[in-house]
Amino acid sequence: MDTAPKTSPDTAIASLGQARIPTPLRHPRYVDDSRPLSLVMTSEELAELDNDSLLLEFEKAGPRERLYFDPPKTKCAIVTCGGLCPGINDVIRAIVMESHYHYGVRTVLGIRNGLRGFIPKYRYDLVELTPQSVSDIHQFGGTILGSSRGPQDPAEIVDALERLNISVLFVIGGDGTMRAAKAIMEEVEARRRKIAVIGIPKTIDNDINFITRTFGFDTAVEKATEAIQCAHVEATGMDMGVGLVKLMGREAGFIAAQATLAMQEVNFLLVPEQPFELDGENGLLMALERRLLARGHALVVCAEGAGRSLLEEEKGTDASGNAVLGDICGLIARRAREHFDSRGLEMNMKFIDPSYIIRSVPANANDRVYCGFLGQHAVHAAMAGKTGMVVTQIKTSMVHLPLDLVTSKKRFLNIDSDYWSSVMEATGQGAYFRKK
């Protein structure tokens, strides 16, 4: 095994200072920061590295024997940002339960409506989160704190953190939010304050760099398969029926690919990572025609970010254009209509867009367990004085990663992998396309 990577990412975690306070946890096993976790990452797992595999060391998540913050004097805050995703409430609940019951933290504040909840010009809105108030929230989708999009001034946020006397800020959000967390941490450092900033990465698309699995993904796939099953029923319920399902995935098709594996009925899968053409002998429209003539029905699953180049072409040729841009399924539906009409063929398409139904449900058991670990380990890290980091799972281990590492680039489906081969096998779509 070649263990000499071309570029070995920096996995060191920042700390607010020395942890001197004995933990109140009676925990049989504390993490010893001097013994990092070694993991073999293959090049499939780290598509950016071009050597075959790599032995990397990570800081393990878990309770430390010594704390940096004295729990009874520590005030925590939680903020949730960006779009909804199954499991946000589970993470909130786990942070509150762990802080309160196991560490003895007395105050956990919930910031309402995302980062804007820190900004005076908006409704400045706080809610105290207690074990009792969060005890049932995991039964509901969404976020009890509300959310918002877009950045806010880090200076104003740190003003608010100081004014509220907050020692630990837990930030649940996506890519952009993790960058905001980084900016907040830098502002805190510039002011030489002792405030820990801990991220819990959230993206239903599962496309955060270096992170094997984001919470809510498993639930999203489960719900996506229900929509695909309905589209299959619709497609087979009419002669020359086509079911077209739009799934989440602006830049990466993970949900669409995984749901395709779970529902082997999908005939065509379209993802951002694999460009395709509509027209011509090797285009989707002719492939769809071949399938319909052969089998009488077809099931198409399309990630929302697929076919970007087609939308850009479209824009070029269409004067008004912008109504179309961004809606690949609308384009496919229109062009398919035209194609089959021009060929004198029947075609009955049913379009299903289940996005909000997928992302707003409560987490399933698997995601609940994961969200519980994320929340617990976020508290362990924060109490030990770690900052500028996220908690996450790599392979089967819970670890800390620096914010830099997860925000530096996105993660994509590797279409040169065994996984993708299995997905393509599941669809059998190769049989309907004609190579030039």
398 annotated binding-site participant? no
Beta bridge partners of 111: 126
176 annotated binding-site participant? yes
* Cβ closest to its own copies, residue 112 vs residue 182: 112
Closest approach of Cβ 112 to its own copies, in Å? Answer: 8
**List 205, 207, 218, 367, catalytic entry:** 205
* Cβ closest to its own copies, residue 87 vs residue 283: 87
* 3-state SS, residue 434: coil
Closest approach of Cβ 101 to its own copies, in Å? Answer: 7
Distances (CA, A) of 55 to 40, 61, 324, 391: 4, 18, 46, 20
Closest approach of Cβ 253 to its own copies, in Å? Answer: 15
82 annotated binding-site participant? no
173 annotated binding-site participant? no
Q: Report, in angstroms and rounded to the nearest whole number, the Rg of the chain calculated over CA atoms.
A: 24
Phi and psi at 376, nearest 5°, equal -60, -50
64 annotated binding-site participant? no
* Cβ closest to its own copies, residue 139 vs residue 408: 139
Beta bridge partners of 387: 14
* 3-state SS, residue 172: strand
Closest approach of Cβ 363 to its own copies, in Å? Answer: 9
Closest approach of Cβ 49 to its own copies, in Å? Answer: 15
- 353 tagged catalytic: no
144 annotated binding-site participant? no
Q: CA 413, CA 252: separation in Å to the nearest integer?
A: 6
Q: What DSSP assignment string belongs to 266-328? A: --EEE-TTS---SSSTTSHHHHHHHHHHHHSEEEEEEETTTTHHHHHHHHHH-SS-TTTTT-H
* Cβ closest to its own copies, residue 182 vs residue 359: 359
* Cβ closest to its own copies, residue 47 vs residue 233: 233
- Measured N-to-C along each axis, helices 154-164 and 175-190 cross at an angle, to the nearest 10 degrees, of 70
Nearest CA-CA partner of 117 in 170, 162, 80? 80
Nearest CA-CA partner of 247 in 207, 304, 310? 304
Query: Annotated binding site for ATP, which residues?
Result: 83, 149-150, 174-177
Q: Which residues are annotated as a binding site for Mg(2+)?
A: 175
Binding-site annotation, residues for substrate: 203-205, 248-250, 304, 356-359
Q: Which residues are catalytic?
A: 205
